[in-house]
Structure 1
């Protein structure tokens, strides 16, 4: 395997939030997410991403949340990381994505993935009650969505019927949206598929251990496999998503909480987990200078020029404000990033 490249200056800075909420007051949690996206724009972040959670106390409809965000921001790009297509009808999703992209002025960055929904046997009666055994959860589902976003025909019928006018393609049309689709890959096979499709690649803090048990090397292998298949080769876009928690502006109580949070999650990073051999990245906590130094030696980070740093689960709104502020004013500049404008 070739040696990792030297770290390049960070060109695009993003953040990712899961958008948790109190089930007794879900509106407040969604408002917090929107306020964080607004703050991200004020701090100069290039993108804000929301995670997708079904039958949990997190954002179940990221496209709807981002529709609201389009009306409260003007510059920051808005992404989903990621929409699991096993829960979706690709044609309907294409309509929603195109609508929100137009509302945003072309700022939407849809992230998608495929695969059998988690706990499918238990949710299938509600999700696909009549077709549970016939549903296809592989790449063909993503290919259908991409075809609709690219403006390929969805039906052989179009024209006028009475006073109604019908199109054979998904409406509205959102120019360029298909080129802004990202794929969340966790294995070499899915990374190669995404590259062959000409998509952008989202990496995260979760990968499948196939050739190594070193997280950074696994992630780097997936990036190289993706670019080897992509029409743009080494120029193909890859965004890395690790959990980073800078402490420069944190209070003593916050620092103690952050360190304890990371300590409680570290054991899962030492070896592959379960029959799927899933590996998790170690969360990075410390000063901006300390985190920047650790990233500079991270084999996968050395291959990218953009990130979507993930906010930790279950922290408070003010914690997230501090973390985002420290990322934008301390960590990202230490990595070579400069805000636009």
Structure 2
């Protein structure tokens, strides 16, 4: 690790949890097995993505509830739950329940915006209120308030033999400090900071104020600094970076060829911002751990963070994930100054 770099404090990974439509249990069991492996390897956190009407995890809270019973130490996160699909009050109850089951290890990440393909799903999701639904930051604020223990109703007391609370139950006192916002814009970074959340920044950002061929790291760095400038904790505010990082040290020749081809197919989209929103994608990092460490230390945004959740590719096999996670924990992590949690 270069002398000018800060040691990486927390090493995590992110998986989408894919499965076969005709055998969904096997895919979910594979995801749980990967999380268990992560704990044995000393990872600090394991994160799952959220996919509706696809062949990936549609209910990350349920999957993480199962993971709480198979692990004892590793932090469990969602990256991210799109709140357009959720009722914030019901979600707050689910999150608090899983956090209690985990012993205070849950790190829920959320985002805003209309559900994907909203015009096609609106009649099923919100049959009577589709035109009235608000998919903005207010939805996050409601969730924050409910999780942090703000009153939900003016009524509390006893009716007959039943006792009612005026706030979400169970209440998990520390959960409100472990809520993350998954953001890719300056506005999201600022909002998350102003509301005391943690900030998840991934391999996709919005190059809203950048030139025609912007530098991904520079754009991401501006988001991180904006977030911390508006957070009560300032420079101590938590930020996690989620690049796609694929080490090849212990990979077989066939795996190395697969990984290289995966990155090659995805590289063209990293050249310029994509679409009207000017979404900018980071190049996937593939190679030996010593080279990956050099590339990460040269990444301006990476140098500003103390924790990461490297994203596993969506389409690989279970044995590929085992190899990647093992190399991350035993080779790349130490090269970045990280030490396994078990140490």
TM-score interval (norm. to shorter):
over 0.9
Consecutive unaligned residues in structure 2, runs of 5 or more: none
- Give the CA deviation at 1:165: 1.0
Once structures 1 and 2 are overlaid, which stretch shifts more, 158-167 or 264-273?
158-167
CA contact (8 A) 1:288 1:331 kept: yes
Partner of 2:78: 80
Partner of 1:270: 271
In the aligned structure 2, how far is the partner of 1:211 from the partner of 1:129?
38
Q: How many residues align?
A: 337
Residue 174 of structure 1 pairs with residue 175 of structure 2: no
CA contact (8 A) 2:12 2:47 kept: yes
In the aligned structure 1, how far is the partner of 2:59 from the partner of 2:314?
18
Q: Give the structure-2-normalised TM-score.
A: 0.97
Partner of 2:220: 219
Partner of 2:129: 131
**Post-superposition CA distance 1:50-77 (Å, at most 9, x none):** 0000000000000000000000000000
Partner of 2:145: 147
Consecutive unaligned residues in structure 1, runs of 5 or more: none
In the aligned structure 2, how far is the partner of 1:307 from the partner of 1:158?
42
In the aligned structure 2, how far is the partner of 1:146 from the partner of 1:249?
43
Once structures 1 and 2 are overlaid, which stretch shifts more, 114-123 or 188-197?
114-123
- Give the CA deviation at 1:6: 4.6
In the aligned structure 2, how far is the partner of 1:250 from the partner of 1:21?
23
Give the RMSD, CA atoms, in angstroms: 0.9
In the aligned structure 2, how far is the partner of 1:303 from the partner of 1:173?
33
- Give the CA deviation at 1:211: 2.3
1:23-34 matches, within 5 Å, as 23-34=21-32
CA contact (8 A) 2:100 2:172 kept: yes
Residue 311 of structure 1 pairs with residue 321 of structure 2: no
CA contact (8 A) 1:7 1:303 kept: no
CA contact (8 A) 1:15 1:47 kept: yes
Partner of 2:296: 295
SS at structure 2 position matched to 1:110: strand
Partner of 1:245: 246
Residue 258 of structure 1 pairs with residue 229 of structure 2: no
In the aligned structure 1, how far is the partner of 2:34 from the partner of 2:250?
17
The 4+ residue runs of structure 1 with deviation greater than 2 A are none
SS at structure 2 position matched to 1:101: helix
1:159-198 matches, within 5 Å, as 159-198=157-196
SS at structure 2 position matched to 1:220: helix
CA contact (8 A) 2:216 2:282 kept: yes
SS at structure 2 position matched to 1:285: strand
1:197-212 matches, within 5 Å, as 197-212=195-210
- Give the CA deviation at 1:48: 0.2
In the aligned structure 2, how far is the partner of 1:237 from the partner of 1:83?
19
In the aligned structure 1, how far is the partner of 2:291 from the partner of 2:36?
28
